């Protein structure tokens, strides 16, 4: 069963990073989940909730709006349990993820954006519309599903606490739906409210404004493209009360750091993982980490999902060239 292999991912101290930043840095290796990302945890919790409370008929269709990883996890789990899957991705999703989804048997629809349920061209709007029109379908809706935070509160948070033997001072996490940071943050703050919960997002994403309790400009509909993180609306899966600070990074800096880190470490780091490294690099002064600090950084997925847009010499996303049509 796929379930038996979800979670309990490795947490390893990274000696070179620790030396570079003069502090203890551990990587939570979420790319080791069977579906290749932290989203296996969330997909499993959402599917279990749907089945337990009869939200989906037997053999029905799980529907989701996803930048790809939640979709891949859902597709894997759905197939094993005898369900179908339909995933609405935005046109900025990497083609590796789209191909993976298709090979896993999911139906894929490419949408113009993922700007939230009020935008008619968004993945969230299209997914909801489809589910409303098909009684055999159930929209898991990770942006508003309590199981999203719960999965990380019940599993990732406790794992980090246990693996660090309670000796953790900071965590640094990329924010997409906000579920990972909210679940881990809630658990760790209950254990020790002094643990600093820090988020990472692309420039012009709105989480920093939310955490600082600032108004969100209506025209803020675009952020620097770092796949998997960043938001233009406030999702229900984000709990700002457990987040102490948000650091913004550019896609350019993230790409440079991804190349450097991958070269030095002989492994391809994921896009949002590289954004976390970029935040460390860009904001080291403000972070003011001490040699006695013990920081956990989360790597949600692996670089092999972004070969073309992050690691090829050709810049940009070529989904359009590959013939994917948007709905």
Interface residue list for ligand PMP (CB under 6 A): 37, 67, 69, 174-180, 228-229, 270, 272, 300-301
Measured between alpha carbons, how far is 213 from 207 in angstroms, rounded to an integer?
10
User: CB of 327: closest distance to ligand PMP in angstroms?
Assistant: 20
User: CB of 66: closest distance to ligand PMP in angstroms?
Assistant: 7
Q: Which of 75, 256, 248, 278 is nearest to 175 (CA)?
A: 248
Measured between alpha carbons, how far is 9 from 305 in angstroms, rounded to an integer?
19
C-beta separation of 25 from 265 below 8 A? no
User: CB of 123: closest distance to ligand PMP in angstroms?
Assistant: 11
What is the Cα 319 distance to its own chain's centre? 21
- Dihedral of alpha carbons 169, 185, 12, 288, sign: negative
Nearer to ligand PMP, 46 or 229 (CB): 229
User: 24 forms bridges with which residues in the sheet?
Assistant: 294
List strand residue ranges (DSSP E) for 279-327, in order.
Answer: 294-299
User: CB of 216: closest distance to ligand PMP in angstroms?
Assistant: 18
Nearer to ligand PMP, 60 or 228 (CB): 228
Nearer to ligand PMP, 24 or 179 (CB): 179
Nearer to ligand PMP, 60 or 140 (CB): 140
User: CB of 19: closest distance to ligand PMP in angstroms?
Assistant: 26
DSSP H helices in the chain: 15-21, 39-52, 69-81, 95-103, 123-133, 146-151, 157-163, 179-191, 207-211, 251-265, 271-282, 284-287
User: CB of 300: closest distance to ligand PMP in angstroms?
Assistant: 4
Q: What angle do CA 234, 8, 51 make, to 5 degrees?
A: 60
User: CB of 200: closest distance to ligand PMP in angstroms?
Assistant: 9
Nearer to ligand PMP, 17 or 200 (CB): 200
C-beta separation of 204 from 247 below 8 A? no
What tokens does 174 get? 């990329």
Nearer to ligand PMP, 60 or 62 (CB): 62
Name 7's Cβ contacts closer than 8 Å, sequence gap at least 6: 33, 40, 41, 155, 156, 159
């Amino acid at each position: 069963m796929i379930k038996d292999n979800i979670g309990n991912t490795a947490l390893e101290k990274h000696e070179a990073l620790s030396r570079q930043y003069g502090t203890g840095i551990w990587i939570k290796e979420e790319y080791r989940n069977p579906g290749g990302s932290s989203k296996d945890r969330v997909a499993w919790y959402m599917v279990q909730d749907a089945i337990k409370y009869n939200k989906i008929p037997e053999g029905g269709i799980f529907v989701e709006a996803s930048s790809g990883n939640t979709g891949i996890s859902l597709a894997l789990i759905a197939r094993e349990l005898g369900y179908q899957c339909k995933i609405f991705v935005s046109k900025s999703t990497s083609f590796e993820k789209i191909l993976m989804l298709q090979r896993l048997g999911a139906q894929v629809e490419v949408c113009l954006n993922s700007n939230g349920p009020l935008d008619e061209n968004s993945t969230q709007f299209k997914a909801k519309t489809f589910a409303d029109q098909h009684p055999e379908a159930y929209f898991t809706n990770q942006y508003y599903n309590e199981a999203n935070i719960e999965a990380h509160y019940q599993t990732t948070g406790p794992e980090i606490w246990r693996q660090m033997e309670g000796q953790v001072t900071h965590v640094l996490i990329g924010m997409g739906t906000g579920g990972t940071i909210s679940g881990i943050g809630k658990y760790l703050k209950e254990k020790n409210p002094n643990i600093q919960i820090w988020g990472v997002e692309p420039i012009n994403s709105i989480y920093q404004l939310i955490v600082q309790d600032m108004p969100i400009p209506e025209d803020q509909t675009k952020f620097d493209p770092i796949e998997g993180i960043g938001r233009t609306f406030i999702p229900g899966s984000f709990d700002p009360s457990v987040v102490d600070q948000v650091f913004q990074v550019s896609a350019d800096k993230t790409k440079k750091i991804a190349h450097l880190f991958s070269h030095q470490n002989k492994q391809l780091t994921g896009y949002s993982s590289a954004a976390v490294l970029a935040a460390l690099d860009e904001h080291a002064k403000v972070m003011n980490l001490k040699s006695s600090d013990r920081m956990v950084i989360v790597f949600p997925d692996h670089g092999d999902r972004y070969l073309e847009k992050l690691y090829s010499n050709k810049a940009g996303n070529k989904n359009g060239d590959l013939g994917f049509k948007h709905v």
